[in-house]
Every structure is written in structure tokens, then in C-alpha cells.
Amino acid sequence: MELQNLGAVVGRLEAELREIRTEADQQQQERAHLLARKCQLQKDVASYHALLDREESG
């Protein structure tokens, strides 16, 4: 009976671990997406500043 209870506990822990890994993978993908978006926005801002500098000097 005790082994059966331990088996159930192990099963629940394994399921929880799979869920945590899935969540961690999703968070990693979201962070990668946000980082790519941040880099694009930084490039856009740099381009905007370059245009402003040209306009002010020209």
C-alpha cells in the first residue's frame, strides 16, 4: 500500500515537472521574442536619430 502511495506521489511530481518545463520553454520563447523586438526598436530609434541629425545639419 505504501509503495502505491509513493508511486502516486512520483506520478504527480513528474506531471508537475513536465508542466514547469513547458512553462519555462514558453517563457524562454517569449523572452527571445521580446529581445528581438527590443533590438528592432533600438535600430528604429537609431535610424530616427540619424534622420533628425541630417535634418538639423542640412
pLDDT tens by residue, 21-39: 999 999 999 999 999 999 9
Burial profile 17-48: b = 16 or more Cβ within 10 angstroms, e = fewer: eeeeeeeeeeeeeeeeeeeeeeeeeeeeeeee
Average pLDDT over residues 6-15: 96
pTM of structure: 0.71
